[in-house]
Structure 1
Amino acid sequence: MFNFAVHRDHYENLYCVVSGEKTFILHPPTDLPYIPYGTYRSAVYKEVVNGDFTVIEDEESSEVPWVAVDPLNPDLGRYPQYAWAQPLTVTVRAGQMLYLPSLWFHHVRQSQACIAINYWYDMEFDMKWAYYKFLEKMFPPQPIDHVDNVEQWNDGKKALSLSN
């Protein structure tokens, strides 16, 4: 099983699967307030003896903010705000195409060989960009300390109320 960390791109993406399949967990930009970040050092993968890989951190690099939650097994004790996120799961199979809009958070995994072609093109820096930048200012990516429950997270912090 290959998994890729949750991230977002500043490109529109047309993703076509030729053979095999890939599964995407998608979060719209409006989920930004619920996506927890941690800080991590830059790192690279290094192959070890049996074909596995290990992560080697660059000790001289500065830390960068990165999405901390694993959407396949979210730790809601540590990141209770993630319970309010609205993920979509999509499996793209051979002969199918996914349009992945810019600024959408996504996690990608595959369990078998897959051949895919994608085409990225620049996003328009229009109202969508302005809205996303507004969200970033309101809810700046920052590490969230361990909390035991949602009420503790809300105590003294920014809280959102959602209505369906």
Structure 2
Amino acid sequence: MQLNGDEMENWQQLMNSGNQHFKEAAWLDAQYCYQQAVSLIENEWSHQLSDRELLFAWIAGMHNLAHLYESQHQSEMALHYLKHAHKQVQTLSADDSVCAEVRSSAFNSLSLTIPPLLDFAKRHPICDDCVSALEDTAASLGGQSSALH
């Protein structure tokens, strides 16, 4: 099941509005739009866990929020959103209580969550063990997933 037309349009409109506000450095407006988009996606995703489009949209929303906070020199908040997205897909990829399709989508999504964390680590200090774990996971994407604390 997919988002219906109105809901997808709302998600897209919110994300597009957030992007426009971001370009204009209207930080609070961008934050509001991104958070509303993420909330809408989370609501739908809770009922349609196997919908890959919702998973990818949610990751994009989390990354937009991270970029927003990093642009405002709030690196701890930026890292929070990057880690949250990574931990969610990492958890889903190892959750035997969800179907194989969900685990597979989540596992594949690690390739979307690891690079932004590694790039962030080049600009802002995060623990060496976390960076090593991310690099190991990125190199293998076959063993146990990395853990961030």
Higher alpha-carbon Rg: 1
- TM-score tier by shorter-chain length is under 0.3
More helix by share: 2
Question: TM-score, normalised on structure 1?
Answer: 0.22
Flag the structure with more relative contact order, 1 or 2, with Cα contacts below 8 A and sequence separation at least 6. Answer: 1
More strand by share: 1
